[in-house]
Amino acid sequence: MAKKKPLILVSNDDGITSRGIRKLVELMKTLGEVIVVAPDSPQSGMGHAITIGDTLRLDTDDIFGDVKAYKCSGTPADCVKIGKHYILKDIRPDLVVSGINHGSNTSISVLYSGTMSAAIEAAMEGLPAIGFSLCDYSQEADFSHVDEFILKIAKQALEKGIPKGVALNVNIPPKRNEAIKGIKMCRQANAKWQEEFDLRHDPYGRQYFWMAGNFVNFDKGEDNDEWAIANNYISIVPCQYDLTAHHALPILNDEWDF
């Protein structure tokens, strides 16, 4: 008897028409049966937002040919929720993948990332999940070097599993003259965005702000995702949705008086 193909749910935050999700769908088709639930428009930087004060619309889309696909008016987290609880109902996907994001989601960016929020939403549902990002923000980014690595990581997840409640944050260096050196398990780098707010005026004289700034890396270690990307390695950071600062509990219990 032939072994049943794994069921893979694909989502993203750049929208259902992005080049990154098309590449991811093509790759996942070689591993199993694919269902796509993705935003109908770009949702970058939405983090783990969900739609609670507006309508949520869902329509089928034949953009991927023979792959069943749905476009959703909501956020990446909405897409995974509606995919699991409405479209798939009682069918449990074997893997949830999100991406391929146009741009880095290393370090602190994981908190803002719609790509990773889709993966983390899946992990919250007890599903093995991976978010893939290419560290190239160009809409003409070259995805030609990602195939073997994404397939290798996805196969490992399907065959060996991912710890429960964990989503893997995978960042891939941009296409360079030298080949990617390999894959490293990493921690999240100690880095942050240093924002600047540019005060401007519209044609009616009303002021508004444009947020800009720079990414500042404080981390000198060689075991973090920023180091890996800078040195042409793919980084994998295991992420969890439990944000409890466990190390702070005994300090607060000992030093605070109630």
109 annotated binding-site participant: no
Torsion of CA 65, 46, 59, 137, to 10 degrees: -20
Helices and strands per DSSP (H, E), number in the chain: 6, 11
Taking the mean position of all CA atoms in its chain, how far away is CA 223? 21
44 annotated binding-site participant: yes
Distances 257 to 26, 50, 128, 218, 248 between C-alpha atoms, Å: 58, 37, 41, 34, 15
Strand ranges of the sheet holding 68-72, from the earlier edge strand across to the other edge: 58-61, 68-72, 33-39, 7-11, 95-102, 129-134, 166-172, 233-240, 182-185
DSSP state of 178: S
94 annotated binding-site participant: no
Binding site for a divalent metal cation: which residues?
13-14, 44, 101
Binding site: which residues?
13-14, 44, 101
